Amino acid sequence: MFGKLEKNLRPVLFYGNNPLSLIGGALTSASAFVLIGFWVVSVFGRGGSTNPYLGIVFDLFLPGLFILGLILIPIGIGLRHSHLKAAGQLPAVYPQIDLQDPVFRRGIEVVIAATFINFVIVGTATYRGVSYMDSPNFCGQSCHVMAPQWAAYQVSPHSHVACVECHIGSGISAAVEAKVNGTKQLLEVTFGTYPHPIEAPLSALRPARATCEQCHMPTRFVGDKLLVLTKFGDDQKNSITRSVVVLHLGGVDSLSHLSGIHGHHLDDYEYVATDPSDQTIISVSKRNADGSVTQYVSSDWKGPVKGVVRRMDCMDCHNQATHVFQTPEQALDEVMVDGTPSANLPFVHKQGMQLIQAKYSSQADAAAKITSGLQDYYKTQYPDVWNGQHDTVENAARMLVTIYDRNVFPSMKVAWGTYPDNIGHMDYPGCFRCHDGNHVAKGGKVLTNDCSVCHNLLNVDDPNPKVLTELGMQ
């Protein structure tokens, strides 16, 4: 039995003793070792990476090397065979398999050494690739599709939280789902069929319990929070007005009372929306202490309430905690509070708003036209300003371009307002998706729309709020 096998193996080993086949064998065995090693780690280990693009390494790159090695072996054998045949050197009898034979031993030594070297190289490359794929740089920058989210992420308070923390869960099913998604996205990017703009139903994210609540105590009592909102006017002096809002954030106080905005939504609320970004909410239910359920249904909705039920969590309000896309007003007011564009430039707010809101074909087009637009305005309308405050105008133009680039991405069809912000209710439906005074329970109870439940408005658009002077804030 062994004799026969040995006889059949002889020509294979004889012809296989060539550089190409030996390298092929080494590649195959090295990639097999790395694959097996990572499988063992991911099945028995903990805290392994769950990046969706790992699929590229484990499902494409390593198996690719494995197969490449397998293909190289017969090619080498074939080449050596035809080479010897052409030279008329085909042996009549194939040499015996003999570990004492120096030629045969050399071959085995080469395979072992090459396997080891390949193992180190492939293993290191894989390890480094995996670490890189877990970094925000990979997620945000390796793919132009992510440009809007990357730009918004960098200026957010969470710019040190890795993308995978919020976007990919742990456990086998999350990892498999992420890999399937990653591969699908890769194909979509390759063929340009991904959605413009990218969509993000909250249901695709990890639950807040596994993300936000790892760092923020949901029960922390915040109490009231003072908001001072500054706006600049469209008049020549860019006049400042302020709104002073005391937000009743609440939380859980020392007596375990739930109060305010945070406290109330820690209860078990479930809602049904009719669109993927949850902007139109037709019903929300609250589970009461006695086990009964109060369901508030929008009076605009005539049909039966059905659809995907989502349990409300932090991200239903804080959907922009990380990817902050502003309105043009917010973006310009914010940088003007910091001093650039300078409010000393006449009509700079009005001009700035017009320039950043105009339609451009690309960010480069916008940069050129916003800059020349502002320059031309001062050159023609205010030559004194243009001559005397040249740098101030240039800085203003540069800042307008910066805020445009942070918020608008023509290549991804991301315009002002593409991504709604659910905090508040002035620019987007936000809280009023439910608290619009139009969501009513069976007994006629209306989900509150009372301004003072959420905040006290001390001043609205006031040029000189007295309360700020009293607080020493002006």
Residues 382-441 that bind ligand HEC (CB under 6 A): 419, 423-426, 430-431, 433-435
Site track 454-473 with ligand HEC (rule: CB under 6 A), x = hit: xx-x--x-------------
Kindly state the smallest distance separating residue 237's Cβ from ligand HEC, in Å.
Answer: 20
Q: Is 196 in the site for ligand HEC (CB under 6 A)?
A: no
Kindly state the smallest distance separating residue 24's Cβ from ligand HEC, in Å.
Answer: 39
Pick from 35, 297, 314, 355 the residue near ligand HEC by CB under 6 A.
314
Using the minimum distance from each CB to ligand HEC, give the nearer residue, 34 or 314. Answer: 314
Q: Is 269 in the site for ligand HEC (CB under 6 A)?
A: yes
The residue range among 70-78, 202-210, 370-378, 402-410 that interacts with ligand HEC, by the rule CB under 6 A, is 202-210
Tokens of residue 70, six digits: 């397998």
Q: Is 447 in the site for ligand HEC (CB under 6 A)?
A: yes
Tokens of residue 20, six digits: 């190409």
Distances 258 to 103, 221, 231, 265, 284 between C-alpha atoms, Å: 82, 9, 34, 9, 19
Reduced to 3 states, what is the DSSP secondary structure of residue 271?
strand
Kindly state the smallest distance separating residue 353's Cβ from ligand HEC, in Å.
Answer: 16
The residue range among 5-13, 46-54, 306-314, 395-403 that interacts with ligand HEC, by the rule CB under 6 A, is 306-314
CA-based angle 247:250:252, to the nearest 5? 170
Tracing tokens 């249901």 back to the chain, one arrives at 203
Pick out residues in 83-112 that bind ligand HEC (CB under 6 A): none
The residue range among 66-74, 211-219, 351-359, 361-369 that interacts with ligand HEC, by the rule CB under 6 A, is 211-219
Pick from 80, 179, 242, 286 the residue near ligand HEC by CB under 6 A.
286
The residue type of 369 is K
Residue 282 CB-density burial (10 A; 0-12 exposed, 13-18 middle, 19+ buried):
buried
Reduced to 3 states, what is the DSSP secondary structure of residue 188?
helix
Using the minimum distance from each CB to ligand HEC, give the nearer residue, 327 or 402. Answer: 327
DSSP state of 57: I
Q: Where are the alpha helices (DSSP H) in 45-171?
A: 54-55, 62-86, 102-133, 136-141, 147-154, 163-167
Pick out residues in 141-180 that bind ligand HEC (CB under 6 A): 146, 149-150, 153, 157-158, 161, 163, 165-167
Distances 163 to 137, 141, 169 between C-alpha atoms, Å: 9, 12, 11
Using the minimum distance from each CB to ligand HEC, give the nearer residue, 14 or 271. Answer: 271
Q: Is 449 in the site for ligand HEC (CB under 6 A)?
A: yes
Helices 102-133 & 2-16, crossing angle to 10 degrees? Answer: 70
Cβ atoms of 432 and 298 within 8 Å: the answer is no
DSSP state of 409: B
Kindly state the smallest distance separating residue 339's Cβ from ligand HEC, in Å.
Answer: 20
Q: Is 336 in the site for ligand HEC (CB under 6 A)?
A: no
Pick from 122, 151, 212, 356 the residue near ligand HEC by CB under 6 A.
212
Residue 14 CB-density burial (10 A; 0-12 exposed, 13-18 middle, 19+ buried):
buried
Q: Is 265 in the site for ligand HEC (CB under 6 A)?
A: yes
